[in-house]
Structure 1
Amino acid sequence: MVHTCVVAGCRNRRTPGTTLSFYRFPRDPERKQRWIAAVNREGWVPNDGSRLCSTHFISKQVKNPRSPDYVPSVFTTAHLCPEMKEPGALEVLDKQEARVEAANALLFLQGQGRSVAGERAHVEHPEERKQEAIVEESPSSSLSTDEDEDDDESINESKKGRFCQASDASVNFDDILKALKRENQTLRESVEKMSLSESSLRNDAEKVKFYTGLPNYFVLETVMWLLAPHMDGMKNVRLSKFQQLLLTLMRLRLDLRNQDLAYRFGVKVSTVTRTVHQMVSIMSSTLVPTAVFWPSRAELRKNLPAALRTSHPDCAVIVDCFTVPFEEPVSRGSQHQQQRVVPNSQGTGTSFNVLKYLIGVAPQGVVTFVSRGVLGNVSDKSLTEGCGLLCKLLPGDIVLASRDLDIADSVAARGAQFKITAGSSEGSPLADPSSESLQRYVDRVISMVKQRYAMLTGPVESPFTTASERTSNLSTFDKIVQVACALNNLCISAAPLE
């Protein structure tokens, strides 16, 4: 920034060849007003860039109020500095200054500093360098640095900004832009790969299987298509429909706590709890009737594994019971829980902190029946007779189990047979050579659902054990067990017994 004297008619400017000093207007209000009065410009008010040259002082401006140079006093009709009389010389100096400043700015931006720039200017313009040295050694110039230090800093910054285009010429912005675009794309792909979104799961079957238990994205998309119309009433502005389904499947698959899921999806714990309960209810009413059903006898015989076609061609179902512990003992205070406590063989009504389920699996490994959970140490016979499984049996059907469930009489009352795949011991009618492999198969298909969805291994949190609806005695966890069985049927089941 080139300073020009503010006195009317004075054309003095700060240039490399001048011996003048330029002073900022004082900060003291009283002294500043005296300077303004001396300049004598009607209605004029100085700003931060206003300067007064040293020709308007007897010697130089001083801060001593008793000195005649405390206020400018020299104002004549000819204020011009001898070096600045000819306009032609002024234009030449302006061009020389621009060249020197351009060189300085370019060298500064290249990291070589002003000292190297000064050497270069000395080589290219020795006369100008000599004049600048005179200015630096000038007494009046050195004495004026009290109030002009911040001006020099602003001048340097101005030079950098004014001549940055000179250095930009040597930079290839196209290459920089391409590199930044590549880096941006890499970062986007990295973030997308770590996120839990549709695009991150679409081409990663292993990721889908790990988080949802489903075999691939196509099956997950099919489940989403089936459930989406029933999710319109869910008010959740923070999570999309896909995220709500994914969150629920992760809860069932990995048994992650609500706080963990809240961190992963960036929502509150209450949002996670509400989403899981709502999604489980929708999946129970929509997905379970579609995927968990009792097949006809013709379908069972058509797809019967080869190992059972000879020994048990009329096998209709393989049954077993499993229990899931609670996180806390269940109170017997509520009417709903009291109705589900069944007396044991001694006739005492004891409630334990477990839920007991009866599950039925077709010989092909597909879950065809799952009972409601019953609290306490209820007997297998009581659970079987009260869950509705017997109503689905036809005369001549065979019911297999890997252990004695004490339901033979109940099954026989329906005209069916109950057989245990435990070898040739007493009470085990199944004594053919294939009984051992058949027993392993039964154990495998029964445990598959619990292995696929870890939430079924417990312990179950108490909010999931209460009845979710007043009109139904199904608890949320009962629905979770049914949903897990339905999802299992959508997966590649246990390898057929051959």
Structure 2
Amino acid sequence: MVHTCVVAGCRNRRTPGTALSFYRFPRDPERKQRWIAAVNREGWMPNEGSRLCSTHFISGRQVKNPRSPDYVPSVFTSAALSSNIKEPNHFEPYDKQEAQVEAANALLFLQGQARLNADVSHDHCQGDPESASSSLNSDDEEDDDDDDDDDEVEEEESLTETEERNKEMPLRNSSTQLVNYEASLNALKKENTELRESLEKMSLTEASFRNDPEKVQFYTGLPNYFVFETVMWLLVPHMKGDRNAKLSKFQQLLLTLMRLRLDLRNQDLAYRFGVKVTTVTRTVHRIINIMFTTLVPTAVYWPSRVELRKNLPAAVKCSHPDCAVIIDCFTVSLEKAVSVDVNPLGATSTTEMVTQSLHPASVSELKYVIGVAPQGVVMFVSRGSPGNVSDKTLVQSCGLLCKLLPGDVVLAERDFDIGDLVGACRAELKITSSDQIGRSDQSMREQASLVTAERINVYKHVGRVIQMVKKRYSMLTGPVESPFTVVDRSSDVTTFDKIVQVACALNNLCISAVPLE
């Protein structure tokens, strides 16, 4: 390695053809401080590669005897160039080479390779004069002279090694080191970019959902981010803007939809979003209430007769052009049996506590009446009733009959036994099952053979809708957790009843299960 004297204004360096000696700064702290003070460079501290040439000593060499004037360098007035040193312009190539080598060493040091420490260890193994001198603490002048002689011999050996190293290490070595460092840096940048992209895909942030419809559909059940954003715009004015809230409005809606869509437990959601379980519980109930009061009236409604007949599917238009609604029932199991009280009008109240009633009953499932338009849109959803309630009682008490108009046709696959109730509204009930057709006379059977397939396809519409709602939002498949069966005093509706209607409203925002043609 080419060593340069650290004294300001001194251009002496160890190069081929020079007989100068170069000394490391002493390891003894007191002597080292005296050398630093003698060099007199403000704010400067030596490192392992710092050297002081022999021209700054009166005798031309350092002496380790504290009584000697050369124990500390003292010649700094006009550090003239040695006669053996050539003109400065001659060493300009060496200046450039040294700058490149020093830059490469600095970069390698940042990578933890500690090149300078390795060089120091190598010098120790070779018996460098500075390292040998630091291990001697004797004040005897004769020992110091021997050490100085050893220093000169070792300096000559080090000079020979330096010349050989300079011959074997051309300028391209430093360039190669820089290229290797740039390649390593580029590889680290690429790895960093890939890790960021991977983390972005796994994160539950707004940016990660914006351009990933598959992710939106998996976590929310909605077809794309545009629909999700539309729901967000509808709900945001009704969501509280708490600055100290740990979840943003986007995250609150996403958390609730994930609860409905994947039926994840509150503890799981708490881990995913980094909040407490109580925060998840409050968020789900609050957002469900907001969607029940704002989204459900917008998406689940009974259309006018003109709207119903405007876009009837082909199968319905041929067989039942006056069809107003297709009805069916579905049940959801409960995680824990609850007690109910059935009043004389058939309305039920579901609670977790046994009510004070003459005939309380324990039920393990809830039954719902659902009304689907021929186009495949959910028009009506009843409140939950005990699973043992008859279809007739449930239809009579749920409010479905109030929406029928004279001349409407109500389709059902099985015998609901509500013909008299529908007839009282001057509407007509038609059963589409093959068993009901089989009980008619021969002439009706011959006519039915022509339209049985169409009637079966008509009923499949409501079956598809129910299955699609449950598939999109797994929470509707049950079992229903006990906290969701408690009646909300403000609305007199259980949280799970709200969830069923919200799920149907969200399903209506997706592509219909029934083709128009």
TM-score, L = length of structure 1: 0.68
Query: What is the Cα deviation at residue 165 of structure 1?
Result: 13
Query: What is the Cα deviation at residue 332 of structure 1?
Result: 6.2
Cα deviation digits, residues 255-283 of structure 1 (max 9, x gap): 22233333433443333322222211111
| Percentage of pairs with the same residue | 53
Q: Distance in 1 between matches of 2:68 and 2:254?
A: 84
Structure 1 match to 2:277:
269
Query: What is the Cα deviation at residue 485 of structure 1?
Result: 0.9
- Alpha carbons 2:352, 2:486 under 8 Å: kept: no
User: Higher mean Cα deviation, 405-414 or 90-99?
Assistant: 90-99
Q: Does residue 436 of the first structure (1) align with residue 438 of the second (2)?
A: no
Query: What is the Cα deviation at residue 146 of structure 1?
Result: 1.7
2:410 maps to a residue whose letter is: V
Q: Does residue 407 of the first structure (1) align with residue 418 of the second (2)?
A: yes
Q: Distance in 1 between matches of 2:301 and 2:399?
A: 13
- Alpha carbons 1:20, 1:55 under 8 Å: kept: no
> 1:385-400, aligned counterparts within 5 Å?
385-400=396-411
Structure 2 match to 1:230:
238
2:509 pairs with one of 486, 490, 496: 490
Q: Does residue 314 of the first structure (1) align with residue 322 of the second (2)?
A: yes
1:205 pairs with one of 206, 213, 225: 213
Q: Distance in 1 between matches of 2:337 and 2:84?
A: 98
2:350 pairs with one of 334, 337, 360: 337
Q: Distance in 2 between matches of 1:172 and 1:93?
A: 35
1:475 pairs with one of 494, 497, 511: 494
Query: What is the Cα deviation at residue 18 of structure 1?
Result: 4.1
Q: Distance in 2 between matches of 1:364 and 1:21?
A: 95
TM-score, L = length of structure 2: 0.66
Q: Secondary structure at the match of 1:24?
A: coil
Cα deviation digits, residues 453-492 of structure 1 (max 9, x gap): 211111122222222x322221221111111111111211
- Alpha carbons 1:441, 1:497 under 8 Å: kept: no
Q: Distance in 2 between matches of 1:485 and 1:20?
A: 87
Q: Distance in 1 between matches of 2:291 and 2:191?
A: 42
Structure 1 match to 2:135:
146
- Alpha carbons 1:341, 1:378 under 8 Å: kept: no
Structure 1 match to 2:484:
464
For residues 19 and 438 of structure 1, do their structure 2 counterparts lie closer, same or farther at Cα, with a shift above 3 Å needed? Answer: closer
Structure 2 match to 1:24:
26
RMSD: 5.4
- Alpha carbons 1:14, 1:22 under 8 Å: kept: no
Structure 2 match to 1:243:
251
Q: Does residue 328 of the first structure (1) align with residue 336 of the second (2)?
A: yes
> Which runs of 5 or more structure 1 residues have no equivalent in the other structure?
6-10, 42-46, 63-68, 114-132, 149-162
Q: Distance in 2 between matches of 1:462 and 1:96?
A: 91
- Alpha carbons 2:374, 2:461 under 8 Å: kept: no
For residues 339 and 276 of structure 1, do their structure 2 counterparts lie closer, same or farther at Cα, with a shift above 3 Å needed? Answer: closer
Q: Distance in 2 between matches of 1:486 and 1:188?
A: 36
Q: Distance in 1 between matches of 2:301 and 2:127?
A: 102
Q: Does residue 455 of the first structure (1) align with residue 507 of the second (2)?
A: no
Query: What is the Cα deviation at residue 181 of structure 1?
Result: 7.0
For residues 421 and 341 of structure 1, do their structure 2 counterparts lie closer, same or farther at Cα, with a shift above 3 Å needed? Answer: farther
Q: Distance in 1 between matches of 2:6 and 2:385?
A: 96
Cα deviation digits, residues 234-270 of structure 1 (max 9, x gap): 6664333233222222222222223333343344333
User: Higher mean Cα deviation, 315-324 or 189-198?
Assistant: 189-198
Cα deviation digits, residues 131-174 of structure 1 (max 9, x gap): xx9xx889x756404279xxxxxxxxxxxxxx999759965999
Cα deviation digits, residues 101-128 of structure 1 (max 9, x gap): 9757867959xx9xxxxxxxxxxxxxxx
Cα deviation digits, residues 324-371 of structure 1 (max 9, x gap): 1122333669x95369999xxxx9542212222111111221111101
For residues 269 and 93 of structure 1, do their structure 2 counterparts lie closer, same or farther at Cα, with a shift above 3 Å needed? Answer: farther
1:72 pairs with one of 61, 67, 70: 67
For residues 3 and 441 of structure 1, do their structure 2 counterparts lie closer, same or farther at Cα, with a shift above 3 Å needed? Answer: closer
2:494 maps to a residue whose letter is: S
- Alpha carbons 2:383, 2:398 under 8 Å: kept: yes
